[in-house]
Structure 1
């Protein structure tokens, strides 16, 4: 169910590669469902009890209500219903595995690990929450270690484990509310991270993120990566430029070699360092892994280069909470261009919880255009509106922030004012990316 989702489609591809007959359904036809059908996976548009006829297993996420007609029909027919996290746990337990956890950076870090291992000849399998250009997919089938993005929005992740847990950070995303994909408290969520780590053979944690070591006290083995002194894997001599950052990698103070990440921002140095650390742990040749990583341009919707318009560089980024937004703005500043952001707040509850932080994170941009909140199936919350962000920024002295609910107005504005030294970043977890595509397709 929901085969058009970025995670479910990856499951479908991995299961089909193992010889299973896989089909699925989703509410609407998309580019991704059409790609799956081209690959030989039958996709039905819409949901209905008839879909469970003549199947052995129905895979569904915890977000699907237990009284959904398809789930009810499956149980009545004796069809085994498997939660998606149970399936991921089975894949992680099948052999050498790397599970990437944390609030930010999972998709990029998972992609980088898989690309580094593949470049070094270790032939990984991969399960990623985004399209990896090198693979042309969100899944890769190989005979080496299995690398997986493990999403904390499904609370069942806490009962899984793997051989190597890569722990990027821990903040307060997916917390509050009564949704199946949200935790009641941040403490409960962080305890979930700690359980996953305790179930794993070892943890590679970011030494630069406060509080992670305390959450990893149950790990059988701890290794640390980051820019901080004392990290087992450390990035030093950082040399940022408009296109990315070159740096040296040390392992327990001994040099492993030079590396480069072709994505701007210190956070991407940390992500790349995690990937090179995993490659080293699994015996990869450092130079081959580093070379593959240097050529990596990022997964879909994570600092994705969409094209240019009148010389302006157009980027799309999935950043949707304050830490990610701040990192994306800083990455844009590293390019040396005028930073222009189109921001789409995501979910009413998330906006209610964090609009002051979102406003503060956007202050570094030269211009900010704010769209309406992307509801993502949530009901509106009284008093919660995108203008909370723009009004706070204006009150703090920003002179070029505007609430722009009409997308056609945003496009007209950008097309009429784009300059060769601009970087235009569409930012958010909703469908703001469509503006970047429309702007780049109208390039002149």
Structure 2
């Protein structure tokens, strides 16, 4: 059993003197973050500030996140302007942080280069954080945010006092970041090709699929083979990998790891979830390590995929010497990060949930989780990106077939140009052709809200699903708009 460490404050309230090692030996620098209102950049802003650096940022739009950062004392300028890095309103900055998706001719990037200011890619900053001490990097095409959150929450419960970088708001931290004295736990996004060259101590490898593949955008890989080579390179640089035994192909992608452990329901897994007991609210199960029983666990989120995510969190905590019972208790209380099976509220007795699921595997898992509740499953689905829809609309349609009713919205472009012939009705038409009698396409969202208000009943489960702004419908229904 690991002795409990004093609980560290979550960002933003953690004091600078609680900071872990400074990246690349930097201390007290002024970091300016482009697109600071994004979920990843805002987490970086909080971590850097908690470690004693001066932090500012800018964003093209004002959001809840930018408002929160301002309330925490991190100044955010509206829009983008070359003066942000050298003059007003922040004065000259030391380091400009930008994602690879930012165009090279961006005015602030140009101004920084001309002024001799260091331009630091966001993945290089994450690499600094991962290399600074014991670290856990969570990779895969599905489940990263939930798994990273669960690892951090389980470690915190077990007394390991982790730091964390998460692509979602973790209710237990009140933030998408946490600063502690223990291991650094980070969600590593494979859509940024630079992830492959990062280095961490332990890799949690959830799955690998053809997501973010086939486009020429900065967030896409040209081929699935190139993406998988990136996974292999990242895993091979780690001290150990914990991969999902239930997902085919991960053994081959992990064969370069010095130490390879597996988790899952499969019999050959080192860490296994056995004797699953699902109910409306979640699943209780037994955890074994090489056939020795570690104890009972529970995830308060439905779906087998969440059992696997929770198992990964308990396995990592066990690997780092954390107390299993305390970790399991923390996991049982965890209700999920924002937009991952988030209970938004109720309307007329119907439960309203919002979920980020947007590719076919995630959608199928979310629908399976919804069916586990025993309620009538009514899904409002917003396809995400024209290229993704072009690549996978038949699979998306098939993934939605088990829902009792489906409302299909227009595609969320996410800055992509429309593709001729690619429309949300491809999904609804295929579902009808396969015999689904309760699927409709709606260009007008108010129609969907009105229809749900007119027909909602106790025992319904209304799930807004997608990576765009479909969550607004859930909030409107729940009276939280």
TM over 0.5: yes
Question: Contact 1:226–1:235 at 8 Å: present in 2 too?
Answer: yes
Asked whether 1:17 is paired with 2:43, we answer: no
Asked whether 1:217 is paired with 2:283, we answer: no
Question: Contact 1:309–1:442 at 8 Å: present in 2 too?
Answer: no
CA distance in 1, matches of 2:73, 2:136: 28
- Corresponding residue number in structure 1 for 2:154: 116
CA distance in 2, matches of 1:25, 1:442: 27
- Residues 7-406 of structure 1 mapped to structure 2, 5 A cutoff: 7-53=40-86, 54-406=92-444
CA distance in 1, matches of 2:480, 2:131: 47
CA distance in 2, matches of 1:110, 1:141: 14
1:4 match: secondary structure: coil
CA distance in 2, matches of 1:418, 1:431: 21
- Corresponding residue number in structure 1 for 2:466: 428
- Tell me which stretches of 4 or more aligned residues in structure 1 moved more than 2 Å: none
Cα drift, residue 175 of structure 1: 0.6
CA distance in 1, matches of 2:179, 2:172: 13
Deviations 1:54-95 (A, max 9, x none): 101000000001111110110000000000000000000000
- Corresponding residue number in structure 2 for 1:417: 455
- Corresponding residue number in structure 1 for 2:21: none
Deviations 1:89-118 (A, max 9, x none): 000000000000000000000000000000
Cα drift, residue 230 of structure 1: 1.5
Cα drift, residue 177 of structure 1: 1.4
2:54 match: secondary structure: coil
CA distance in 1, matches of 2:480, 2:267: 48
CA distance in 1, matches of 2:329, 2:215: 44
Question: Contact 1:9–1:36 at 8 Å: present in 2 too?
Answer: yes
CA distance in 2, matches of 1:207, 1:324: 18
- Corresponding residue number in structure 1 for 2:9: none
- State how many pairs are aligned: 443
1:280 match: secondary structure: helix
Gaps of 5+ in 2: 1-33, 87-91
Cα drift, residue 120 of structure 1: 1.0
CA distance in 2, matches of 1:230, 1:351: 36
Deviations 1:27-67 (A, max 9, x none): 01111101001111000010010111110100000000111
Q: How high is the TM-score relative to the length of structure 2?
A: 0.92
CA distance in 1, matches of 2:271, 2:349: 39
Q: CA RMSD in A?
A: 0.7
Cα drift, residue 442 of structure 1: 7.0
Cα drift, residue 176 of structure 1: 1.3
**Shift in CA distance, 431/252, structure 1 to aligned 2, threshold 3 Å:** same
Q: How high is the TM-score relative to the length of structure 1?
A: 0.99
Gaps of 5+ in 1: none
CA distance in 1, matches of 2:133, 2:320: 13
CA distance in 1, matches of 2:43, 2:430: 40
CA distance in 1, matches of 2:311, 2:137: 16
CA distance in 2, matches of 1:89, 1:96: 12
